Amino acid sequence: MTVRTIITAENPLLREKSKKVTQFGAGLQTLVQDLWDTLYAAGGLGLAAPQIGVLQRVWVIEMPAEQDEDGNEIEPLRRYVIVNPEIVKRRGEEEVTEGCLSVPGYRGLVKRATDVLIKGQDLHGKPVRYRGQDLLAQAFQHETDHLNGVLYLDLLVSPDKLWAVQPGDAEADEPAE
């Protein structure tokens, strides 16, 4: 288990375009395990390889289980890992609050598609497709942006729609990506 350091917005690596993964061997498995370990340690929703300083096109997302008001599980916990992701369809649009593990202490308002279809490969190179709506669609877009050197800071609906959050604020507890 290796928890890696999450680099932050001032690091120029986050502005690079990541390289397509062509080797689906042990190195990729280790990288993805490190992404999971680092994501769990940080308590976030998703993490892309460039956020640990590795310019490879891969990210992981964990959607927490959802419960109704009686505590019954309506959605189980879902984990996604994708290599060489590409967004093939976007539908709908909404303004959503977003946070990034590489921009600690802030939240901002961005516009995101509400329904997204992505395709890519699994850890063995086999083609996969995922469809995501709402928060999951937002995470698909956020993490894929990281692979292209884009941060949510670039997508704010207006420059004043970025604000600091303090640890312990309800908003600061919302998982970042």
Least Å distance between CB 100 and Zn ion? 3
Residue-wise DSSP of 66-101: EE-TTS-EEE--EEEEEEEEEEEEEE--EEEEE--T
Please say if 143 is a catalytic residue.
yes
- Residue 32 φ then ψ, to 5°: -70, -40
Give the CA diameter of the chain.
46
To Zn ion, the closest distance from the beta carbon of 101 in angstroms equals 6
Nearer to Zn ion, 42 or 67 (CB): 42
Q: Does 177 bind Zn ion (CB under 5 A)?
A: yes
Binding pattern for the stretch 11-50 against Zn ion, x by CB under 5 A and - elsewhere: ----------------------------------------
Residues 47 and 6: their CA atoms lie apart, in Å, by 9
Which of the following is catalytic: 75, 143, 171, 177?
143
99 closest CA partner among 4, 9, 5: 9
Residues in contact with Zn ion, total (CB under 5 A)?
Answer: 2
Taking CB under 5 A as the criterion, which residues in 43-102 touch Zn ion? 100
d(CA 75, CA 72): 9
- How many other C-beta atoms can be found within 10 angstroms of the C-beta atom of residue 81? 18
- Per-residue binder mask for Zn ion (CB under 5 A), 100-139, x = binder: x---------------------------------------
Residue span binding Zn ion (CB under 5 A) among the ranges 32-40, 81-89, 124-132, 169-177: 169-177
CA angle 104, 140, 4 (to 5 degrees): 45
Residue 63 Cβ vs Zn ion, minimum distance, rounded to whole Å: 15
Q: Give the residue closest to Zn ion by C-beta.
A: 100
Q: Which residues contact 2 (CB under 8 A, 6 or more apart)?
A: 30, 33, 34, 37, 38
Shortest spacing between CB 176 and Zn ion, in angstroms:
7
* Residue where the block lists tokens 């061997």: 25
| Nearest residue (CB) to Zn ion, 39 versus 100 | 100
The residues binding Zn ion (CB under 5 A) are: 100, 177
Catalytic residues: 143
